[in-house]
């Protein structure tokens, strides 16, 4: 079976290499075509345009950098829409909002094609190791068809129902993560000011019931005031905002997330928006004006 | 070397059995002496009173049920104070506040004895398995002397400096835990009201960067509205209050912990104080008056 | 000078009567034309359509019930746009969002007309008494031209700069008001549960530095659990949300407003959205499930 | 009837002058006796010690600078306790906590005397003008006896029931005030960053339903970053803390007050504790590190 793959950035390249190494017959496309070379060496074919890829393949996976690219790959000249039709599937694994996802879904299905949004949790390393977590939503039949590919790219995939649910699930997870990062920051500062060694706090936390990879990974760098951005603070704050808006729609009061969101906003106002989201630690630490 | 052990409740019994099985020569005491039988069968001696145990041993460990018992074992007739002296150590592993700990510390050291507070993280199962985490503070020499015993009872022990630091470390950890429980509750409700399956949220969380034993353990019971108390909500709220008070002393602003504390107070006002602390979930769920 | 007036609801009628009694030469229009009778008796002319009113007058004031009506009066057949032109002004005093206001502003100015948004603070009684507060923004020359009319309708008018600033000023005021209502509710409940008489608290508050009309007006009805809607809670919560969004755009962290907003959302989830915004008091009061 | 007056500081002097001008027969005492001169010129007698004053008078009013002075005037040699007895009353109008008040109350009543705590709201100017608000609690009969004096010193007095209720009422009022100050600060910053003139916001606020003396008084100085201390921020934060503790005792969840309290703590951590409580405005304003 022919599978298409659009977008060979850091994530897409790792994912498509895993597919081809596992025996998938891939046709790939990338805006800068030279990025396809490594895939071609491994046995992939090249499609000249998104439309050409879709024409040739049963279903096509996209892993694109942002919503505007995700839209142009579908709607522009030589885009996905020109060839999508009954019997063909399109799976967008990019991280885009519910709005973008809905727009693409409507366009694909109005042409008779089937659509799946499938954003992932996990970055470069999990992508290379085939350890992504895949949050799929949309056409169940297409999900079933893509399971063999998902099993290669991820350690686990979920089918979450209607289009939009993948994006919502990411928001919920990121909201919990953002509140936890604030709780963690407050704890680190409280320990430090109370005469306890923050490194010891990290050790104690890591031995108990709330031990988790994020504390283990971020704690040591936070103590060193190192916030090189894995997940930029302004994106974390945007996700908190969107999760609170989702709560507003559904009349869910979330006072802890709201307090965490205001701390992230404070961090933005301090000019920390482009640093890692763990830089919210700075808003808790802030001491005397004179220091 | 002779080691004393006062208090053979659920925790103390498990801990002392581990010590004796590893070759420690133990003299034990318990208010209800019959509880000593099992230890005697394993080779322990009995002390008739706390004073008698202290007299016989190099250092004595106590694991008592609450602060009032911890105080009476030291200060009452036939108590620890009557025999403690230069060259002897007393290690209180009970969970008591910084105040109680300081009172005991002063009394012991004024008699020439050395003192260590050493509250533990972990309950029955880790106690039986020798997997406790021990947060010791006080006399460093006594800590060093007790390391062989700590290595048997716990998977890890920490020396945290002056008396009081053990209690403070527990407060910081429990504060982070309480905020996390609120973040988790908010996420579960948001998922549910947004049309996502809370069980799927648990699965997704458990595969990501914030996966932790507490979410794994409490999530399924919370979804079933099962709050049988492992750690009562009113105790969690007390720890939040004390942690916030510690922050107040040290001018640390902790808006997320404060919001979480108010949610726990709301739960208390709803009559949920004796349930598990995960019952704070109920304050987030609450729907229409009529339902 | 001929002045037009569109919309003779409760507010518009009171405002136009004041204008005509003070000697303004008015041409009025209302969707249900019979509502114009009282004005005609006082000397007003009738315009058959919004377009007809605009054609006849130097500037035209509108006081319409909601954004959709405000839009249709301008854009529909026989609407304002058909006759607005260079030298004519249009003043929308309805309460509409910044979006609606901008749309109308662009349409009017693209035809060469001048535009002013001028939402008011105050309801029926102040409208009748000519005691409104007028928050005008847009074309300064038109503001200057309308000052004589504003002086009749209001006790005070402000010119706030570019279109949108009137709506923003209302949001800021309502945000402060919403936080104050929460602070007040918390105080009333705290007094009651601490054994103090809430009525006495009202008396004490009214004699001090934070005495204000809202506490004086709402306090007694809140204590009686009477929340007949003067300003519906769901509208207050919408204004909190929009004010927080405005803060988000401008990187202003507002933790107290955020906490107040979550309380209003909790009230909505309890089914109180259509009651007066003072019903947020219920979320603070809530006691045991069993009660 | 002979009335005693202990303490002729700024407040006590103004209050006692009002009493004597209204015909009260006063016996006064002050630690520095020379401060009594002005009163003597107006016709007052001098008591050499607190005990001497109490001996001579039906009831004695005290207006002292802080809890430690309030205690020493009662308990020290030549103090109130030496002469208080059945038939004599003692009215402490100083601002002291519930603890201090209870201690004094118990001592007085155990000697057969009657006691009233009567803290006031209002500072120098209202004291001079006889416009204080008096929050009395304790022995009702003594309150009734003192009404003629209260009517001279204050514009209004309240009898609030048992000893401690005066202090609690002040806490509730100050808690509401502290939350309001935060809401106000957030509004001022939001206006400013959104392109609105903060002075105009003050004008608009002052014309509406939440107009109050505090906004009117503090607004202009806050905009000028002038925080000369009328009520020090650290005292406001202490009152927030105590009010939240009172809520904790009574299971009242107060999320807005809690958020406000954390902002005041943040202000303390920025070194603003000795400035006026309106300096919490600085925590909302804080912008980029680099600015």
Q: Is the Cβ of A207 closer than 8 Å to some Cβ of chain C?
A: no
Convert the pLDDT of each residue in D36-93 to its tens digit.
Answer: 999 999 999 999 999 999 999 999 999 998 889 999 999 999 999 999 999 999 999 9
Write down the pLDDT at residue B284: 95
Closest-CA distance, C230 to chain D, in angstroms, reads: 13
Residue D288 pLDDT > 70: no
C241 touches chain A (CB under 8 A): yes
Domain boundaries of chain A, sorted by first residue: 2-161, 167-285
* CATH number of the structural domain A2-161: 3.40.50.720
Among all residues of chain A, which has the CA nearest to that of C258? A258
| Partner residue facing A250 (CB), from B173, B193, B253 | B193
Considering only CB atoms, A261 lies closest to which of C258, C263, C266, namely: C258
| CA A252 – CA D39 distance, rounded (Å) | 64
Predicted pLDDT of residue D287: 61
The string of DSSP letters for A200-256 reads HHHHHHHTSTT--HHHHHHHHHHHTT----SSBHHHHHHHHHHHHHHHHHTT---HH
Residue in C233, C274, C288, C291 to test binding to B, most B beta-carbons within 10 Å: C288
- Give the Cα separation of D247 and D172 in Å (integer): 10
Q: Does C254 touch chain D (CB under 8 A)?
A: yes
| Closest residue in chain C to residue A258, using alpha carbons only | C258
CB contact under 8 A, A258 and C253: no
Residues of C in contact with D208 (CB under 8 A): 121-122, 133, 173
Q: Is A271 on the interface with C (CB under 8 A)?
A: no
- pLDDT attached to residue A289: 45
Among A13, A88, A170, A234, the one annotated catalytic: A170
Catalytic-labelled residue, pool D170, D234, D265, D266: D170
The 10s digit of each residue's pLDDT in A6-49 is: 999 989 999 999 999 999 999 999 999 889 999 999 999 999 99
| Shared fold status for A2-161 and A167-285 | no
- pLDDT, residue A96, reads 84
Calculate how close chain A gets to C136, using CA atoms only, in Å.
Answer: 30
- The distance of B183 to chain D (nearest Cα, Å) reads 16
Residue C221: the pLDDT is 97
Q: Are strands B120-121 and B59-62 parallel, antiparallel or unpaired?
A: unpaired
Q: Are D4 and D47 in contact (CB under 8 A)?
A: yes
For the annotated catalytic residues of B, the residue numbers are 170
Using CB atoms, pick whichever of A270, A287, A290 lies closest to residue D289.
Answer: A270
For an interface test with A, the pick among B156, B209, B249, B288 (most A C-beta atoms closer than 10 Å) comes out as B209
Position B287 scores a pLDDT of 61
Spatial neighbors of C188 by CB under 8 A, at least 6 apart, are: C198, C201, C219, C222, C223, C281, C284
**Residues D250, C190: C-beta atoms closer than 8 Å:** yes
CB B204 within 8 A of CB A135: yes
What's the pLDDT tens digit per position in C68-105?
Answer: 999 999 999 999 999 999 999 999 999 887 889 999 99
Asked if residue C198 lies in contact with residue C222, where contact means CB atoms within 8 angstroms, the answer is: no
D207 in reach of chain A (CB within 8 A): no
**Option in D186, D195, D209 nearest C214 (CB):** D209
Whether CATH 1.10.1040.10 fits D167-285: yes
Interface touch A248/C263, C-beta < 8 Å: no
The nearest CA of chain A is from the CA of B197 a distance in Å of 8
Cβ contact, residue pair A182, B256, below 8 Å: yes
What pLDDT does residue B291 have?
32
Residue pointed to by tokens 């002040």: D170
The structure tokens 């949004």 sit at A117
Contacts 24+ apart (CB under 8 A), A9-13: A9/A63, A9/A64, A9/A65, A10/A124, A10/A127, A11/A63, A11/A120, A11/A123, A11/A124, A11/A127, A12/A63, A12/A64, A13/A38, A13/A39
Question: What share of chain A in percent tops pLDDT 90?
Answer: 90
pLDDT digits (tens, 9 = 90+) for A51-92: 999 999 999 999 998 889 999 999 999 999 999 999 999 999
More confident residue, D148 or B286: D148
Q: Are A255 and C255 a contacting pair at CB < 8 A? A: no
Q: Which of C13, C168, C170, C234 is catalytic?
A: C170
Taking CB atoms and an 8 Å limit, are D200 and C160 in contact across chains? yes
Q: Could you tell me the pLDDT band of residue C287, with boundaries at 50, 70 and 90?
A: low
* pLDDT band, residue A287 (cuts 50/70/90): low
Is A251 within 8 Å of C269 when comparing Cβ atoms? yes
Instruction: Give the pLDDT score at C172.
Output: 96
Give the C-alpha separation, D167 to C196, whole Å: 11
Give the mean pLDDT of chain D. 94
Pairwise CB contact (< 8 Å): C286 & B270: yes
Partners of A114 in beta bridges: A89
Contacts of C34 (CB under 8 A, 6+ apart): none
Contact C270 B288 (CB under 8 A): yes
> How far, in Å, CA of C63 to CA of C11, rounded?
7
Chain B / chain C CB contacts < 8 angstroms: 25
Cβ–Cβ contact B271 with C under 8 A: yes
Is D263 at the interface with chain B, CB within 8 A?
Answer: yes
D173·C201 Cβ contact <8 A = yes
ipTM: 0.91
Tell me the average pLDDT across D127-135.
95
Contact status, residue A158 vs residue A164, Cβ threshold 8 Å? no
Which CATH fold topology does D2-163 show?
Answer: Rossmann fold (3.40.50)
Q: Give me the average pLDDT of each 10-residue run along chain B (291 residues).
A: 93 96 96 92 96 97 92 97 97 89 96 96 89 96 98 97 94 96 98 96 96 97 94 92 94 97 96 96 74 32
- Chain A residues with CB under 8 Å of D270 CB are 286-289
Please report the pLDDT score of residue C290 as a whole number: 37
Q: Is the pLDDT of residue D291 over 70?
A: no
Q: Which of D178, D233, D248, D283 should we substitute to test contact with B (largest number of B Cβ atoms within 10 Å)?
A: D248
User: Does B270 contact C289 at a Cβ distance shorter than 8 Å?
Assistant: yes
Work out the pLDDT band at A281, boundaries 50, 70, 90: very high
* pLDDT at A106 > cutoff 80: yes
Task: List the one residue out of D169, D191, D181 whose CA is nearest residue D236.
Answer: D181
More confident residue, A121 or C133: C133
CA distances in angstroms from D62 to D5, D13, D104, listed in the order given: 6, 11, 12
Nearest CA to CA, how far is C65 from chain D (Å)?
22
pLDDT in tens, D181-204: 999 999 999 999 999 999 999 999
pLDDT computed for residue A71 by the predictor: 96
Chain mean position to CA B192: 34
Q: Is there a contact between A98 and A122 (Cβ–Cβ < 8 Å)?
A: no
- pLDDT the model gives residue B26: 97
Residues D6, D74 contacting (CB under 8 angstroms): no
Does A291 have pLDDT greater than 60?
Answer: no
Q: Does C132 contact D at CB distance below 8 Å? A: no
* Percent above pLDDT 90 for chain D: 90
Considering only the beta carbons, identify the residue of C259, C269, C288 that sits closest to B286.
Answer: C269
Give the DSSP letter of residue B269.
H
Interchain proximity C253–A266, CB inside 8 Å:
yes
Kindly tell me if the per-residue pLDDT of C291 is higher than 60.
Answer: no
What local confidence, expressed as pLDDT, does residue A242 receive? 92
Sequence-distant (≥ 6) Cβ neighbours of residue A127 within 8 angstroms: A10, A11, A14, A15, A120, A153
Quickly name the fold that domain C2-162 has: Rossmann fold (3.40.50)
Residue to substitute from D234, D242, D244, D253, interface B, most B β-carbons within 10 A: D253
| A258 with C254: Cβ contact below 8 A | no
Interface of B with A in 144-203 (CB under 8 A): 155-156, 158, 160-162, 165, 168-169, 172-173, 175-177, 179-180, 182-184, 186-187, 189-191, 193-197, 200-201, 203
Q: Which residue of B has its CA nearest to C269?
A: B287
Yes or no, beta carbons of D258 and B261 under 8 Å apart: yes
Q: Is D269 on the interface with A (CB under 8 A)?
A: yes
CB-CB neighbors (< 8 A) of C176 in chain D = 183-184, 186-187, 205, 210
């Amino acid at each position: 079976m022919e599978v298409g793959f659009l977008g060979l950035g850091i994530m897409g390249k790792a994912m498509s290499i895993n597919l081809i190494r596992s025996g998938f017959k891939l046709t790939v496309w990338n805006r800068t075509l030279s990025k396809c070379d490594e895939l071609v060496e491994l046995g992939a074919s090249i499609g000249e345009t998104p439309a050409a890829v879709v024409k040739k393949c049963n279903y096509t996976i996209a892993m694109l950098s942002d919503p505007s690219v995700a839209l142009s790959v579908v709607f522009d000249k030589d885009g996905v829409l020109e060839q999508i039709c009954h019997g063909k599937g399109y799976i967008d694994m990019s991280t885009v909002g519910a709005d973008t996802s809905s727009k693409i879904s409507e366009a694909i299905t109005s042409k008779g094609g089937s659509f799946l949004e499938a954003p992932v949790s996990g970055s470069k390393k999990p992508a290379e190791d085939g350890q992504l977590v895949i949050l799929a939503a949309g056409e169940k039949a297409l999900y079933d068809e893509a399971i063999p590919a998902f099993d290669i790219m991820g350690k686990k995939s979920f089918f979450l129902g209607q289009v939009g649910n993948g994006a919502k699930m990411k928001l919920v997870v990121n909201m919990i993560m953002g509140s936890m990062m604030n709780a963690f920051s407050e704890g680190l500062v409280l320990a430090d000011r109370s005469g306890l060694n923050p490194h010891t706090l990290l050790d104690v936390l890591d031995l108990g019931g709330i031990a988790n990879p994020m504390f283990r990974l971020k704690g040591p760098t936070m103590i060193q005031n190192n916030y090189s951005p894995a997940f930029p603070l302004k994106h974390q704050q945007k996700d908190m905002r969107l999760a609170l808006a989702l709560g507003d729609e559904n009349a869910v009061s979330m006072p802890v997330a709201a307090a965490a969101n205001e701390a992230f906003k404070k961090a933005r106002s301090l000019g920390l928006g482009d640093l890692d989201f763990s830089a919210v630690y700075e808003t808790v630490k802030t001491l005397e004006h004179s220091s």
